[in-house]
């Protein structure tokens, strides 16, 4: 083998070795690049990043039904959580003066306490829903700057951190029903939820039991004493004559067709009405003629019942004389001293019963309940 051949063989081997080395180097470099790519993009952190970019899940909302107020002596309620509705016992409510005219014995009183003052305009829905209950209600708010309760009407313009809503339990039309109380409590709770406040509703079942008991008592005490001046058989009293004598005695004819006799503070003591169905309407009284008139004393609404009865008997005799009629009781029996004494005894019994119940005749409670 010549020197040229040996040289060419060495060069060929060197080229082959160089190609193999180059390929090995390139392959290793590629592997490193691939391995580095896997380390730079791990799966778990990417999943967390995608989760962070995703919109947050909406919190579950739940509107709880009204809960019963814990009785006195029960464990203290948990502190209110903003944005939730909680019932609190009155003992846990802020120390505030009593609301004028609100009576826990005859009213269902709902409390709303907010972290920030609520404008009266924001209570429009509460007023509307309370009115839909079909009972007399009132809404009062506490003005912290004046340190007093104010009527929180729709247009009062006030701002109140504490609100009280009172629904009267009993009237002459009867006792409140459970639907009205439930509706009022729901309205208060939704109002509280809207303003991140807390609402406190007294126990509805216990309230209904109390309302029915109070209504039964009022029905038993709801007595009116009637005296009648009747005309002789076949005779009639002229409306103009009745009006002249009534106004002379001190009566005032009201637009609804009934004469009222009032005390110095304009509280009605007794009334004078037509014994027949037609009222004494001012525009018709000139043409009216009747066979009798009725004097009526609404016992629960008159404070000085005995004095009012005595005055009513006196005026009744005066009217009977002026109309040439006869003063009789509701059974059309001529009124005598003995029958007047019996009426006075009945009146005393009713007054005693009402006072024992804490509802004296003619008091604010009585005027509200017997309306």
pLDDT of amino acid 43: 34
User: pLDDT band for position 270 (50/70/90)?
Assistant: very high
pLDDT of amino acid 16: 59
Domains observed in the chain: 90-219 (3.30.1400), 222-369 (3.30.1400.10)
Mean local confidence (pLDDT), 200-211: 97
Cα-Cα-Cα-Cα dihedral sign, residues 231, 235, 236, 237: negative
| DSSP-derived secondary structure for 249-299 | HT-EE-TTS-EEEE-TT--EEEEEEESSSS---TTTGGG-EESEEEEEEEG
| DSSP-derived secondary structure for 32-90 | HHHHHHHHHS-HHHHHHHHHHHSPPPPPP---PPP-PPPPTTSPPPPPPPTTS-----G
**Is residue 53 pLDDT above 70, yes or no?**
no
Mean local confidence (pLDDT), 326-346: 93
pLDDT of amino acid 44: 34
**Are 206 and 324 in contact, with CB atoms under 8 Å apart?**
no
β pairing state of 292-298 and 289-290: unpaired
* pTM given for the model: 0.71
**Is residue 360 pLDDT above 70, yes or no?**
yes
> Across all residues in the chain, what is the average pLDDT?
82
**Is residue 49 pLDDT above 50, yes or no?**
no
**Is residue 45 pLDDT above 80, yes or no?**
no
pLDDT of amino acid 154: 80
**Is residue 13 pLDDT above 50, yes or no?**
yes
**Are 248 and 242 in contact, with CB atoms under 8 Å apart?**
no
Q: Which of 153-157, 188-192, 274-278 has the lowest mean pLDDT?
A: 153-157
**Is residue 93 pLDDT above 90, yes or no?**
no
Phi, psi torsion values for 217, nearest 5 degrees: -65, -45
Q: Which of 87-91, 99-103, 156-160, 225-229 has the lowest mean pLDDT?
A: 87-91
**Are 289 and 236 in contact, with CB atoms under 8 Å apart?**
yes
Q: Which of 81-95, 162-176, 258-272, 321-335 has the lowest mean pLDDT?
A: 81-95
Number of neighbouring beta carbons within 10 Å of residue 233:
6
Query: Tokens for 364?
Result: 């604010």
Alpha helices, H only, the chain: 3-40, 43-53, 124-131, 178-194, 204-221, 239-249, 305-323, 337-356, 364-369
End-to-end CA distance of the chain: 140
Query: Tokens for 186?
Result: 């729901």
Query: Tokens for 95?
Result: 């120390």
pLDDT of amino acid 331: 85
Mean local confidence (pLDDT), 215-243: 96
């Amino acid at each position: 083998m010549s020197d040229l051949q040996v040289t060419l063989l060495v060069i060929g081997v060197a080229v082959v070795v160089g190609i193999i080395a180059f390929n090995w180097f390139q392959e290793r470099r590629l592997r490193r690049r691939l391995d580095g790519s896997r380390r730079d993009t791990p799966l778990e952190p990417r999943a967390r990043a995608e989760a962070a970019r995703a919109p947050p899940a909406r919190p579950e909302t739940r509107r709880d039904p009204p809960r019963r107020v814990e009785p006195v002596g029960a464990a203290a309620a948990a502190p209110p959580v903003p944005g939730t509705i909680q019932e609190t016992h009155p003992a846990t409510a802020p120390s505030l003066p009593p609301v004028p005219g609100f009576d826990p014995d005859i009213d269902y009183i709902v409390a709303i306490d907010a972290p920030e003052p609520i404008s009266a305009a924001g209570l429009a829905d509460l007023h509307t829903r309370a009115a839909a209950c079909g009972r007399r209600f009132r809404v009062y708010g506490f003005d912290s700057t004046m340190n007093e309760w104010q009527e929180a009407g729709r247009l009062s313009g006030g701002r109140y951190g504490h609100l009280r809503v009172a629904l009267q339990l009993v009237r002459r039309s009867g006792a409140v029903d459970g639907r009205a109380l439930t509706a009022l409590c729901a309205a208060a709770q939704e109002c509280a939820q809207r303003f991140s406040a807390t609402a406190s509703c007294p126990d509805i079942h216990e309230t209904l039991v109390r309302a029915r008991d109070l209504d039964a008592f009022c029905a038993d005490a709801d007595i009116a004493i009637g005296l009648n001046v009747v005309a002789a058989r076949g005779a009639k009293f002229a409306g103009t004559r009745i009006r002249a004598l009534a106004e002379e005695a001190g009566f005032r004819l009201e637009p609804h067709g009934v004469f009222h006799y009032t005390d110095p503070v304009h509280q009605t003591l007794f009334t004078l009405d037509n014994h027949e169905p037609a009222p004494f309407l001012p525009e018709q009284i000139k043409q009216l003629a009747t066979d009798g008139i009725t004097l009526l004393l609404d016992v629960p609404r008159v404070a000085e019942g005995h004095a009012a009865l005595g005055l009513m008997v006196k005026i009744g005799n005066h009217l009977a004389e002026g109309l040439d009629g006869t003063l009789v009781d509701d059974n059309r029996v001529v009124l005598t001293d003995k029958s007047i004494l019996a009426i006075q005894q009945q009146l005393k019994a009713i007054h005693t019963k009402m006072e024992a119940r804490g509802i004296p005749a003619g008091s604010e409670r009585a005027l509200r309940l017997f309306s």
